[in-house]
Structure 1
Amino acid sequence: MKKNLLAAAAICLFTNLGFSQARLVEKVEKKGSELVIPYEKYVFPNGLTLVVHEDNSDPIVHVDVTYHVGSAREEIKKSGFAHFFEHMMFQGSDNVGDEQHFKIVTAAGGTLNGSTNLDRTNYYETVPNNQLEKMLWLEADRMGFLLDAVTQKKFEVQRSTVKNERGQNYDNRPYGLVGEFTSKNLYPYGHPYSWLTIGYLEDLDRVDVNDLKKFFLRWYGPNNATLTIGGDVKAADVVKMVDKYFGSIPSGPAVEKTILPAVKLSGDRYASFTDNYARLPILSKTYPTVPNYDKDMGALSCLAQILGQGKNSILYQQMVKNQKAISASGFSRFNELAGEFSFQLTPFPGNSLATMDSLFKQSLLVFEKRGVTDEDIEKFKGGIEAQYINGLQSVSGKVSQLAAFNTFTGNPNMIGKLLDMYRSVTKEDVWRVYNQYIKDKPCVTISVLTKGQPVKPAAPDNYTIDTQNYTAPNYGYDGLKYTKAKDNFDRSKTPGNGANPVVKVPPFWKKDLPSGVKIIGTANNELPTVTISISIPGGHLAQAADTSKIGLAGMVADMLNEDTKKYTAEQMAVELQKLGSFISVSQTLDGISFNVQCLKKNVDKTLELLEEKMFSPNFTADAFNRLQKQSLEGFKQLKSQPAAIASTVIDKLNYGTGNILGLSDNGTESTVKRLSLKDVQDYYNNYMTSQGTKVVVVGDITEGEILPKLAFLNKLPNKKINLPNPAPAPAIEKTKIYLIDVPKAAQTEFRVSNVTGLKYDATGEYYKAGLMNFALGGAFNSRVNLNLREDKGWTYGARAGFAGDKYTGEYQFSSGIRANATDSALVEVMKELKNYAANGITGEELAFMKSAIGQQDALRYETGNQKAGFVGRILTYDLPANFVETQNKILASLTKKEADALAKKWINPDKMNILLVGDKAKILPGLQKLGYEIIELDIDGNRK
């Protein structure tokens, strides 16, 4: 690594582009094969830090603005404000209209979002490289020109949206409140980590628009922000643009680093709560540890892997493999001010939470007797190296790392230091942190109880939160003033586009083996990684002849992840972790898929393990019985989740109970109970074949290098597998409402759908229908999302679109809607569908769609997974090499008349199944007024 540190005093940057206020304070370049993200770091007079990373491998750019403010900067009784404010930052500013931020980025062919955690809030966009200046204009406008555009109406709509987000992700989800109960019992009252980022509903109701404005003025100054830009850019050009748009924004109040004493527990704390949605109780145990970047971080991460991650972990061996627990895991989390070491245990029926608590303590004693081994350290280091390398596949991944490092340490160049820290972990380090933070140390134990079931907590609640001895700090909100930048240019003018980037579709090679195996690949040497996917015909469709044993293909995939003749599942996991490799087996609609990810240097050893897994499975009764029991318990959990219920039952309504496409590939409790170990062996004997097997290879490896390494596939039996074609879906005579009752559900899950029969076609009517639907339900600025989320605040998000494969296709609207708005929302959904079918797309919407989709190519082929998906579709659907060119021609020539005809043909609101999963008591009276026939179903989708 070559690193130049430039003295801070009076060093200015001059370029051939003119004078800039920015000071170049650091430049890091890559040297040799070291793991480093090259960058230049600048500081502006207003305190803004700029980090630029040049990566010319793809014609894209990623922009990230990270503000050093998260929920840890909030006041007691005003929780959730940082996240709420993140929503407000998308609602327009002086020169960017309402709902225009998403629209401008989408029209540029880009993607965008924001996120808030305990310690920071960030906003980011990935766009074609010709759109950089426009992105900087957008971000600068909301940094310096937000408040006059904030209105009470926008405030109320976004407050409602955030409430829906809490309902969807916390209140309406099994175990969604475990973190909330843990935090308030672990940290002292008033500690900034004692509440979740989402906040409490009562606190959200308490704040007003003036609180929001103060929050902006206190924390959203350029001096509390890091602007990180990476991709196909030149640093000198970036500095000039940033200077123009951000340089004149006044600095905000000074922001000091928060320092708090470490959390100390005087004794074990037990707390419990009843979860309305959980069907299985769980036990959560959390120990306080250290903040991020602490010297013990690496050793604690290694300890978490040994105790609670993977089949070779202590908890898995002591609790899961012997069927005492359905799951048992441990993980270590580090934040800016504190860290946590947590365990989560789900008992098999018959084992109490008190038993889980006792078994957990016994497992720690087993670990103490076993100790830390050389193999533990070796596999930990192998996994960490692969994790860091794989995280650098995308420019967004690299930018995110640089932004976080600078925000929390002031040094973007931390990746090598962190990796060195992990590589230097010793057995003694791991043993020391276990003794220092876990062994005989008090922790917070949360018992999650299930409603209506005789479940007792692990121990009686014994802790009362002390709210008396708290003194609120001075957050510095007094006397804040809003001062806007003074410019020598017109900010109201949206910057134009640079020259369109030249997008290169990944070149690929194809090879058909004599055995019938078809291989496709594309080489990419940006990172020394290789990804391989092998799909063997079978899967869910193979069960169509005997639907009494649906779930068999999934069970076969699970068993292929277990023991082989040479290795136990635990031994296989160890060998893969040492290599930093990953092999998983899963079922698909029409196959069993073997998925591989590894470092190039370890390809040979990884493929040896894949060959063993594929050709020498050892299907044992112990593994089968355990997996069968876990699957049966899993059905209970799925039936507690409204979204899972809706997604399963809508297929049954659309395709019928006798159609394989209407049956969940997970099966049902009755079908899984019928499975036997012989069924698994018979499936393996009957469906392992070379004919129709498809292989996708992506990464730092050529055709000539990989083909000899895949020669073992020739050992697959050469036999023809005939998968049945699914039966046609039943016709829908008229639109009806199907209602499933989930008492006290905070939201109603919507599915409005029908079977179109439109199979996937990259250049046919399926592709054109997708273009047509973009304005209705295919983007953030689509009609359904703007109506239900941005205008009404009834949902966290709404979407509608076509889905298709080789066998069939359907159209579906989906969303989670606030319960008390269910009837009104359904009226709006059906109104939008009917209006679009009758009147079609507007000229403005057509132009927006063409602009958005026409520029997306720059973002489509960056990562290994994206390239694999691209070439995989070519192989699966036998697409011509130039199909993307054909798509672009179709896009460019699509007229309003053609789009309107497609809408009228394929969107049929008078013949759809409406499925609503929610609280019947709340929503039925309103639905009865709408005039639809209402049919009540149980949670399995059967008529009551």
Structure 2
Amino acid sequence: MPKRITPLLVALSATVLTACSQQPADDAVALPEPAAFEVKYEKFVLDNGLEVVFHQDDSDPVIAVALTFHVGSARELEGRTGFAHLFEHLLFLESENLGKGGLDEMSSRIGGSGANGSTSRDRTNYFQTVPNDALEKMIWAEADKLGFFINTVTEDVLAKEKQVVKNEKRQGTDNRPYGHANYVVGKNLYPADHPYNWQVIGSLEDLQNATLQDVKDFYNKWYVPNNATLVIAGDFDAEQAKAWVHKYFDEIPRGEDITPLADRPAALSATVKRYYEDNFAQLPELRMVWPGVDLYHNDAYALDILMALLSEGKTAPLNRVIVEDKQLASDVTLYNNNSELAGEIMLITRAYPGTDLNNVYDGVQEAFARFEREGIQEEDLQRIKAGIETEFYANLSSVLGKAFQLAQYNIFANDPGYINKELQQYLQVTPQDIERVYHQYIKSKPFIATSFVPKGQTDLIIAGSTLAEVAEEKIVAEGRGESFDVAEDSGYVKTPTKFDRSAEPPYGALPVPAVPDVWQSELTNGLGLFGIQSNELPIVDFELTFKGGLLSEQANKVGVSNLLAMLLQKGTATRTPEELEKAIELLGAEISVASGRQSITFAGTTLARHYEETIALLKEMLLSPRWDEKEFQLAKQDVLSTIAQQSADPGSIADNAYFKLLYGSNHILSNNPLGSEASVSAITLEDVKQYYAQTLSPSVANFLVVGAVDADTVKASLASLNQSWPAKPVVQPSIDTPERPRAAKVYFYDVPGAKQSELRIGYVALAETDSDFYPATLMNYKLGGGGFASRLMQTLREGKGYTYGVRSGFSGTDIPGPFTISSGVRTNVTYESLALVKAILGEYAATFTEQDLENTKSYFTKSAARQFETAGAKLSMLDNISRYGWQPDYARQRQNVVQAITQPEIEKLAKQYANPNGMIWLVAGDADTQMPRLAELGFGEPVLLNPQE
């Protein structure tokens, strides 16, 4: 659960596997064996049981530090759930020697990526990437978290963090369509005494009932050295790091011995069917869940590939029957979810509005029958395995990615070296393996089926379903939560130590940021070329980006560029959609096309050895679209389905309403890039062709490439475009920038029954090319751009427990974009949250101190060491250079701005760009209970945007 990042390659999910055609092809490619690749590591164990893994990588002056405990929700007890996730939060707040703010405060000063963590059923991890001069500080801090923390947790600290966690549950579960579906599955798949019966985040009731002693007992049992793994990955001296680990961790005592939990797979004697009327759903959803296997089980690899064969891609049986033939839904997801003790095979599909889920269920059975008839072709395995190889390398592209994997393998495979072995497990899977696991785990086996339908549409549920039991929180206007006061000095007794730990260790040698070498060129047709060669991994990432997107659309055809992006992926003039998909996947490549507010982008990843073949397919997609009428109609259905889903999601509702208010309903940028139900329904295939002809020209495009390929190879791969793709004039539309509101105004969008209020506060501010943009970004860091270092987060989350998260930021490009403060807050503190935001904005300029300035400068100076580590970061750098005409050393120029800015300049910027009296104040939430008080903000009577009939 968040603070959250999805663990990488824990067990490759079906979403990263590409599905395959069942038909042999004449142009099948014999794939070469993957190049030898090894992640080297060193492991040692302290006397207290702490397991430590080192991986050295000197490609960038950065280090990832990950501390993982072998405890998740599975180690909790019924009635005392949510403790592991609660500690994920608590451990960031304070420790005896770091003091208030803990890792979050230190992360800001040292230029870290932000201290973060995640909780699963079986482990909790804490991690961040920092410049390598901060390694000793991080080892000191992690040791303090492990051995010198629990005394800082007081009744008030616990009370406040309970509110934060409950806000997270509201945001991620209670206030979202289908948010309770996993809860229903868990309760019905596992018996009450099974540790997977409850959700990782726990229940609101259990969290509220947890006592301070309960929490301390849980910590003292599980958060001990002999239940933890520390991974350090990056650019560091191993002997020095080992000495620091011993210095800071050795004296922390070992905990009681921990007995591993035995595997306990789910066992169903009969199929169970449940239904639920979802307050936020607009589409009926079917889930079918079969008992699966535990993590790293021998059958897990064949099951992963089976999931892909059944569901991913044009020729997959589930897609062909449910999406293509019967047109019941826009997609079907099937994945293999493996945890330490058990696993699930989960199928999810959200059908089109009004669709009977019995028809979807019949389609699933028909698809399985088709799979049994057609069998498995060897070519299918080649394509899937090539995709797995590419994904494997991509997941190791950062030192943090490697740190995650080393910890994961150390804890659950008992061997960090499994990082060099698991890929081979996939490559060895045979068709016979896949057929066996299909019959063993799916065919004719009992399952859990859930039907989540919109309110009042129980006629769509699966036959034989009974009502699922779900506890819903009641929304009330009053009763704004418990009161607590997290004192600056909690008065706890500090733990005795063998040496003085209160002094923060010094920095090491100042790292020199590794600014990549950029090469630039241009084809004679005007296509700009920008590249960075990096041979760390045998993969290449690329983007071909065009000016356009929503910005180039007509008001009555909004969504046409999105439909174009979808169609460009659906075959070419000489290849059917199935054939194009097969050709890409055989190379272990991915090529996607997406449209946004100002651009259309082809994006791809491929194995370096297949770069030229992948680019050949990219050119074919670009120059020879198929314009398939059936695919066009399917794309429209898909988009209309997504628009319907968004219409009941409070976050999407807030975003859509916010852009209407920012720009005015007649401005093209006020629209959702997907379009509206009316505009998408009106778009024809000819409209899409016309947009393509008028917009996609090399004269408004740039090709960006990062990875194991040199400039000469890139230029040669694109040289044919000079003749085959001549430039044509593309007129960029003239865009009016809305005036900033002269007075603040409050707007309310009614979402009856919302468990949270979504806040959007801001106005159209600056372009990134504006001379004030980067200085204003520096100004905003302590306001709301610095995560847990910001005042908004410290006040609304850490001080009051009103929200799970709040942030502010500027989002301009080469045209002015919004300055926005966004958050989801507990419904019954909507007014209190807005009043706090107003107060923080109002006093920010006058209260920004020299210490705030020092902290801001420290963050932006030191974080420069990690700004170009990943392929994505390098592509972003190239995008800035190509889009804005910046020099490759713009990052160094920005450092001059950081060093030169003064406190009076920050104060002036705050008065100009963070003035609460010149902003739009929008709430999407429950109007009956929350709207009446908002006049007290002093911005006049709130305006209801959607009066209920």
Number of the residue aligned with 2:78 = 76
Q: Which amino acid aligns with 1:651?
A: F
Following the alignment from structure 2 to structure 1, what is the Cα–Cα distance between the partners of residues 315 and 538? Answer: 27
* Residue correspondence of structure 1 range 128-147 to structure 2 within 5 A: 128-147=131-150
Per-residue deviation, 1:539: 1.7
Per-residue deviation, 1:249: 0.3
Q: Which moved more, 1:499-508 or 1:785-794?
A: 499-508
Following the alignment from structure 1 to structure 2, what is the Cα–Cα distance between the partners of residues 392 and 226? Answer: 19
* C-alpha contact (below 8 Å) 1:250/1:483 kept by paired residues: no
Once the two structures are superposed, residues 299-347 of structure 1 have per-residue CA deviations (whole angstroms, 9 ceiling, x without a partner) of: 0001000111233321111111131222212111111001111111222
Number of the residue aligned with 2:867 = 860
Following the alignment from structure 1 to structure 2, what is the Cα–Cα distance between the partners of residues 428 and 365? Answer: 17
Q: Which amino acid aligns with 1:765?
A: D
Per-residue deviation, 1:260: 3.7
* C-alpha contact (below 8 Å) 1:532/1:697 kept by paired residues: yes
Change in 2 beyond 3 A, CA 1:848/1:263: same
Number of the residue aligned with 1:569 = 577
Number of the residue aligned with 1:187 = 190
Once the two structures are superposed, residues 276-312 of structure 1 have per-residue CA deviations (whole angstroms, 9 ceiling, x without a partner) of: 1011111000000110111111100010001112333
Following the alignment from structure 1 to structure 2, what is the Cα–Cα distance between the partners of residues 832 and 744? Answer: 29
Partner of residue 914 from structure 1, selected from 905, 921, 928: 921
Number of the residue aligned with 1:768 = 775
What SS is found at the alignment partner of 2:85? helix
Once the two structures are superposed, residues 467-486 of structure 1 have per-residue CA deviations (whole angstroms, 9 ceiling, x without a partner) of: xxxxxxxxxxxxxxx99976
Partner of residue 87 from structure 2, selected from 82, 85, 88: 85
Change in 2 beyond 3 A, CA 1:793/1:917: same
Following the alignment from structure 2 to structure 1, what is the Cα–Cα distance between the partners of residues 467 and 269? Answer: 11
Q: Which amino acid aligns with 2:55?
A: H
Following the alignment from structure 1 to structure 2, what is the Cα–Cα distance between the partners of residues 668 and 943? Answer: 20
* C-alpha contact (below 8 Å) 1:64/1:399 kept by paired residues: yes
Following the alignment from structure 2 to structure 1, what is the Cα–Cα distance between the partners of residues 944 and 571? Answer: 41
* C-alpha contact (below 8 Å) 1:86/1:115 kept by paired residues: yes
Following the alignment from structure 1 to structure 2, what is the Cα–Cα distance between the partners of residues 257 and 376? Answer: 39
Q: Kindly indicate whether residue 500 of structure 2 is the aligned counterpart of residue 498 of structure 1.
A: no
Change in 2 beyond 3 A, CA 1:347/1:884: closer
TM-score (norm 2): 0.92
Number of the residue aligned with 1:887 = 894
Q: Which amino acid aligns with 2:340?
A: E
* C-alpha contact (below 8 Å) 1:840/1:904 kept by paired residues: no
Q: Which moved more, 1:510-519 or 1:877-886?
A: 877-886
Number of the residue aligned with 2:759 = 750
Following the alignment from structure 1 to structure 2, what is the Cα–Cα distance between the partners of residues 457 and 667? Answer: 30
Q: Which moved more, 1:728-737 or 1:245-254?
A: 728-737
Number of the residue aligned with 1:161 = 164
Following the alignment from structure 1 to structure 2, what is the Cα–Cα distance between the partners of residues 743 and 462? Answer: 26
Per-residue deviation, 1:748: 0.3
Once the two structures are superposed, residues 870-904 of structure 1 have per-residue CA deviations (whole angstroms, 9 ceiling, x without a partner) of: 12201110012332222111111111111111111
Number of the residue aligned with 1:479 = none
Partner of residue 290 from structure 1, selected from 282, 289, 293: 293
Partner of residue 217 from structure 2, selected from 214, 217, 225: 214
Per-residue deviation, 1:464: 9.4
* Residue correspondence of structure 1 range 820-899 to structure 2 within 5 A: 820-837=828-845, 839-899=846-906
Q: Kindly indicate whether residue 448 of structure 2 is the aligned counterpart of residue 444 of structure 1.
A: yes
Q: Which amino acid aligns with 2:388?
A: I
* C-alpha contact (below 8 Å) 1:250/1:485 kept by paired residues: no
* C-alpha contact (below 8 Å) 1:632/1:669 kept by paired residues: yes
Q: Which amino acid aligns with 1:127?
A: V
Number of the residue aligned with 2:10 = none
Number of the residue aligned with 1:553 = 561
5+ unaligned residues in a row in structure 2: which ranges?
1-33, 470-491
Following the alignment from structure 2 to structure 1, what is the Cα–Cα distance between the partners of residues 895 and 864? Answer: 10
TM-score (norm 1): 0.92
Per-residue deviation, 1:264: 1.4
* C-alpha contact (below 8 Å) 1:937/1:943 kept by paired residues: no
Following the alignment from structure 1 to structure 2, what is the Cα–Cα distance between the partners of residues 867 and 630? Answer: 33
Following the alignment from structure 2 to structure 1, what is the Cα–Cα distance between the partners of residues 90 and 901? Answer: 36
Once the two structures are superposed, residues 763-789 of structure 1 have per-residue CA deviations (whole angstroms, 9 ceiling, x without a partner) of: x21110111111111111211111000
* C-alpha contact (below 8 Å) 1:40/1:235 kept by paired residues: no
* Residue correspondence of structure 1 range 671-682 to structure 2 within 5 A: 671-682=679-690
Number of the residue aligned with 1:734 = 743
Number of the residue aligned with 1:536 = 546
Number of the residue aligned with 1:526 = 536
Change in 2 beyond 3 A, CA 1:943/1:853: farther
Following the alignment from structure 2 to structure 1, what is the Cα–Cα distance between the partners of residues 376 and 908? Answer: 67
Q: Which amino acid aligns with 2:416?
A: P
Following the alignment from structure 1 to structure 2, what is the Cα–Cα distance between the partners of residues 899 and 432? Answer: 66
Q: Which amino acid aligns with 1:721?
A: V
Per-residue deviation, 1:512: 1.8
Q: Which moved more, 1:124-133 or 1:374-383?
A: 374-383
Once the two structures are superposed, residues 169-207 of structure 1 have per-residue CA deviations (whole angstroms, 9 ceiling, x without a partner) of: 011011111111111110111200011101111111111
Q: Which amino acid aligns with 2:50?
A: L
Once the two structures are superposed, residues 601-630 of structure 1 have per-residue CA deviations (whole angstroms, 9 ceiling, x without a partner) of: 011211121121111111121111111122
Following the alignment from structure 1 to structure 2, what is the Cα–Cα distance between the partners of residues 713 and 890? Answer: 40
Number of the residue aligned with 1:3 = none
Partner of residue 44 from structure 1, selected from 38, 46, 60: 46
Q: Kindly indicate whether residue 590 of structure 2 is the aligned counterpart of residue 586 of structure 1.
A: no
The count of residues paired between Structure 1 and Structure 2 equals 890
Q: Which moved more, 1:44-53 or 1:566-575?
A: 566-575
Change in 2 beyond 3 A, CA 1:498/1:731: closer
Following the alignment from structure 1 to structure 2, what is the Cα–Cα distance between the partners of residues 501 and 350? Answer: 59
Number of the residue aligned with 1:474 = none
Work out which structure has the larger RCO, using CA pairs closer than 8 Å and 6 or more positions apart in sequence.
2
* C-alpha contact (below 8 Å) 2:747/2:945 kept by paired residues: no
| Residue identity (%) | 37
Following the alignment from structure 1 to structure 2, what is the Cα–Cα distance between the partners of residues 634 and 407? Answer: 39
Partner of residue 415 from structure 2, selected from 389, 411, 415: 411
Following the alignment from structure 2 to structure 1, what is the Cα–Cα distance between the partners of residues 65 and 721? Answer: 44
Partner of residue 932 from structure 1, selected from 925, 928, 939: 939
State the superposition RMSD in angstroms: 1.8
Change in 2 beyond 3 A, CA 1:733/1:706: same
What SS is found at the alignment partner of 2:883? helix
Per-residue deviation, 1:454: 4.8
Change in 2 beyond 3 A, CA 1:33/1:683: closer
Partner of residue 104 from structure 1, selected from 103, 106, 111: 106
Q: Kindly indicate whether residue 404 of structure 2 is the aligned counterpart of residue 393 of structure 1.
A: no
Following the alignment from structure 1 to structure 2, what is the Cα–Cα distance between the partners of residues 704 and 158? Answer: 56
Partner of residue 617 from structure 2, selected from 593, 609, 612: 609
Following the alignment from structure 1 to structure 2, what is the Cα–Cα distance between the partners of residues 176 and 752? Answer: 26
* C-alpha contact (below 8 Å) 1:772/1:841 kept by paired residues: no
What SS is found at the alignment partner of 1:928? helix
Per-residue deviation, 1:35: 2.6
Partner of residue 280 from structure 1, selected from 275, 278, 283: 283
Per-residue deviation, 1:692: 2.2
Per-residue deviation, 1:731: 4.3
Q: Kindly indicate whether residue 515 of structure 2 is the aligned counterpart of residue 511 of structure 1.
A: no
Number of the residue aligned with 2:269 = 266
* Residue correspondence of structure 1 range 162-177 to structure 2 within 5 A: 162-177=165-180
Number of the residue aligned with 1:659 = 667
Per-residue deviation, 1:741: 0.6
* Residue correspondence of structure 1 range 362-381 to structure 2 within 5 A: 362-381=366-385
Partner of residue 650 from structure 2, selected from 637, 642, 656: 642
Number of the residue aligned with 2:352 = 348
* C-alpha contact (below 8 Å) 1:725/1:807 kept by paired residues: no
* C-alpha contact (below 8 Å) 2:60/2:869 kept by paired residues: yes
Q: Which moved more, 1:726-735 or 1:141-150?
A: 726-735
Q: Which amino acid aligns with 2:567?
A: M
Q: Which amino acid aligns with 2:268?
A: L
* C-alpha contact (below 8 Å) 1:160/1:793 kept by paired residues: yes
Number of the residue aligned with 1:53 = 55
Once the two structures are superposed, residues 27-54 of structure 1 have per-residue CA deviations (whole angstroms, 9 ceiling, x without a partner) of: xxxxx95332101110111001110111
Per-residue deviation, 1:743: 0.8
Partner of residue 456 from structure 1, selected from 456, 460, 463: 460
Per-residue deviation, 1:926: 2.2
